Chains A and B, each alone.
Chain A
Amino acid sequence: MATIEISCVEVWREISNYVDEEISPEMRERMEAHFKVCAHCTAVLDGTRNIVGLVGDGRVFQMPDGFSKRLHKKIQNLP
């Protein structure tokens, strides 16, 4: 059976769930068929994946110097 086509709008709606693998196998198949022929949605997908990768890198928010030391001291000084 041929995959049922979906629109760009439908693809955008599910792109985050697609990245997280939180969609049904049917939807995945339809989206993958769409990505093959739609450069725009592929670009949105790549961009979303990049965002997830960048945010997931622990280096985005660096802890202030000496944070751990100050915490240690506070714990030791607790009444």
Chain B
Amino acid sequence: MSVTNSQARPSEGELIKSVCSGEREAFYELVRPYERMIYATAISVVKNPADAEEVAQEAFLKAFSNIASFRAESKFSTWLVQITYNEARMKLRKARPHLYDSIDDQYQSEEGEYRPRDYADWRPISSELLEQNEIRQALQNAIGALSPTYREVLMLRDLQQLSIKETTIILGVSEATVKTRLHRARLLLRDSLAPGIDGSWVNGKPYRKVRAW
């Protein structure tokens, strides 16, 4: 029995070609797999859901109008994320120019040696916990509390699972900087979530604390 390709989804390259010749429906097909990724990128910068939706939608429309300038040497998803970042940052600067600056300044002073705040011994956490609203909320709040520099790198690497290389392209920083910021972001998050919700991640089972003293 032979396998036919007739039912297969057109490739990204084929869709891009169709979009370039003016097919709007092909564009929708092309970007659908990235909706979540683009929304997450937007919310990592602007934080609130309404602004994130506006930024994400605007980024998609911009990508459509600029599709002719897309060069196949970068991945389409990387290009989309770059557009989204530009949109999101522009929105943030317009809305809160002073706040944006001060957050950036604040991060500068956070450099230095990391020391864990405690040694909470986390048992492996099952991802089913994320079905619980309060856990998702706690995680969102902790991510939201990171300064933008850390939040961006964390979202690109750990949420969107981009490679270090792709992250350097999007953020325009060196590999070493990506690694350092990611390191700091993860450990800050670990610190702020270590005690969990009411001291426990697993309902009714308090986690074991290992203290240095």
Contacts and interface: CB of A to CB of B under 8 A. Distances in A.
B93 to A, nearest CB: 22
A12 B39 contact: no
A24 B127 CA distance: 30
Interface string A25-52: 0000000000000011011101110111
Interface residues of B, number: 53
A40 B124 contact: no
A31 to B, nearest CB: 14
Given A13-B114, A22-B164, A63-B39, A71 B121 contact: no
Contacts of B129: 54
B35 interface: yes
A56 B161 contact: yes
Contacts of A68: 32, 35
Interface string A42-79: 11101110111111111111111001101110111010
B127 A53 contact: yes
Given A16-B186, A43-B121, A60 B136 contact: yes
